[in-house]
């Protein structure tokens, strides 16, 4: 059996075999990835989520060179949202049928731990039906340093206050030679600590996702090494806890207007689609792969549905991080996502963050309605 046939069969690949996939013709690679996607998920369906990203603060001490969002405490536009301001954003999400908030900020040097637990308790009391997925491993490490508590105890306290899941932010490239390069993010959480904190979250039954960003100048072998860390952790989590990463989400580094601009090559649509296909074929223990319309745009995201992705992501009523580094596709409404999925030839279903179907929309009826003007999308276009 040749490599492409083995990959298309769904058999487990070695790291060397996965690295060799990058040298195969792109659309042959796509066919193999789509075949495996069709084996592991409903081949006719593409899911999506109605949610909102909330950035409770932009104050951060890590200072990644590829981040245009963070501020120091002394900058004039540094902020920390009040509980009431966060709650108002959740109310807007509830009004459009949303089911989850993805809440992240920077690593704040002075916010007391009680502020975080108090925020979760405040939101759970006022919005009991909204899942609270918040605080990347980087933020958890920051809270552990601030409090002197082990990260596992930090997670237990946050879970008791209402935390439902830990997003995969800060994964980027799980190879320290890449992530800790002086011109990228020398103070970033290590790959080992990222995996360790995710393992602790999974041991508590918290929802987790894995992420990957390409374009730092990493090699194909380093990309596969990053995926290997994820696959190994998924094997362990499934065997030990019965749960693990619910999805794998990848995108390309956004470099416009940030300090890393000109120091790294970035990555385009070809590399994004190629890497997505390889990840679908190599990460045989993760069921769901998400297309990235915010960074790649809708046409590439539609194409991604034939390169291994089975999910279109979310409406993302608010996005403040990758847009600060040049991503121009900031938000869409549900109708637009349904249109994109339908035009690609799939049946759209609304899911929750656990990938349970919560609604099968009448796509024809929704698309027949006169569209509302999406001023966020219009603004992003100019």
Tell me which of 264 and 213 has the higher pLDDT.
Answer: 213
Distance between CA atoms of 348 and 336, rounded to whole angstroms? 11
Per mean pLDDT, which of 148-152, 180-184, 371-375 is the most reliable? 148-152
Sheet with strand 357-359: strands edge to edge: 51-55, 100-104, 131-134, 165-166, 207-214, 245-252, 288-290, 311-314, 45-49, 347-351, 357-359
Q: Which of 238, 45, 207, 241 is nearest to 131 (CA)?
A: 207
Radius of gyration for the chain, computed over Cα atoms and rounded to the nearest angstrom: 20
What confidence category does residue 326 fall into, taking pLDDT thresholds of 50, 70 and 90? very low
Select, from the ranges 10-14, 96-100, 172-176, 295-299, the one with the highest average predicted confidence (pLDDT): 10-14
Interval 31-75: pLDDT, tens: 999 999 999 999 999 999 999 999 999 988 776 766 767 787 788
**Residue with more model confidence, 320 or 299:** 299
pLDDT for 329: 44
Q: Is 60 annotated as a binding residue?
A: yes
Q: What percent of the chain has pLDDT over 90?
A: 74
136 is in an annotated binding site: yes
Residue 66 labeled ligand binder: yes
57 is in an annotated binding site: no
Instruction: Tell me if 292 is assigned to a ligand binding site.
Output: yes
Determine the pLDDT at residue 63: 65
Is 314 assigned to a binding site?
Answer: yes
Going by the DSSP 8-state scheme, the letter that residue 173 receives in this structure is -
pLDDT at residue 325 tops 90? no
CATH superfamily of 3-381: Aldolase class I (3.20.20.70)
Question: Is 375 known to sit in a ligand binding site?
Answer: no
Measured between its terminal Cα atoms, the distance across the chain in Å is 50
Give per-residue pLDDT as tens, 251-298: 998 777 666 666 778 889 999 999 999 999 999 999 999 999 998 999
Structure confidence at residue 261 (pLDDT): 65
DSSP 43: T
- Asked if residue 121 belongs to a known ligand binding site, the reply is no
Residue 382 is predicted with a pLDDT of 33
d(CA 290, CA 301): 9
Residue 17 CB coordination number (10 Å): 16
């Amino acid at each position: 059996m040749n490599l492409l046939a083995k990959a298309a069969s769904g058999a487990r690949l070695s790291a060397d075999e996965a690295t060799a996939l990058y040298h195969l013709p792109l659309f042959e690679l796509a066919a193999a990835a789509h075949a495996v996607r069709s084996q592991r998920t409903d081949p006719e369906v593409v899911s999506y989520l109605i949610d909102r990203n909330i950035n409770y603060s932009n104050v951060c001490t890590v200072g990644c060179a590829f981040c245009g969002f963070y501020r120091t405490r002394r900058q004039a536009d540094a902020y920390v949202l009040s509980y009431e301001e966060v709650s108002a954003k959740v109310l807007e999400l509830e009004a459009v049928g949303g089911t989850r908030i993805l809440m992240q900020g920077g690593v704040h040097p002075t916010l007391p731990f009680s502020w975080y637990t108090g925020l979760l308790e405040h939101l759970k009391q006022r919005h009991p039906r909204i899942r609270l997925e918040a605080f990347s491993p980087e933020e958890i490490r920051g809270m552990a340093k601030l409090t002197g508590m082990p990260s596992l105890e930090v997670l237990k306290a946050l879970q008791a206050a209402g935390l439902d899941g830990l997003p995969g932010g800060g994964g980027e490239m799980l190879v320290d030679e890449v992530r800790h390069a002086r011109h990228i993010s020398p103070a970033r959480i290590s790959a080992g600590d990222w995996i360790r904190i995710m393992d602790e979250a999974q041991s508590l039954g918290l929802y987790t996702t894995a992420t990957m960003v390409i374009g730092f100048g990493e090699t194909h072998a380093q990309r596969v090494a990053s995926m290997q860390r994820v696959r190994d952790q998924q094997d362990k989590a499934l065997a030990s806890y019965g749960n693990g990463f619910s999805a794998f989400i990848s995108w390309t580094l956004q470099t416009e207007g940030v300090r890393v601009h000109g120091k790294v090559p970035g990555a385009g649509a070809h590399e994004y689609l190629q890497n997505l296909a390889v990840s679908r074929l190599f990460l045989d223990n993760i069921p769901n792969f998400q297309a990235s319309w915010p960074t790649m745009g809708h046409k590439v995201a539609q194409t991604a549905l034939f390169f291994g992705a089975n999910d279109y992501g979310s409406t993302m009523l608010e996005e403040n991080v990758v847009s600060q580094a040049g991503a121009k596709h900031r938000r869409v409404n549900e109708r637009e996502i349904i249109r994109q999925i339908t035009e690609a030839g799939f049946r759209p279903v609304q899911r929750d963050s656990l990938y349970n179907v919560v609604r099968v929309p009448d796509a024809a009826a929704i698309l027949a309605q006169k569209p509302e003007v999406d001023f966020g999308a219009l603004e992003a276009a100019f």
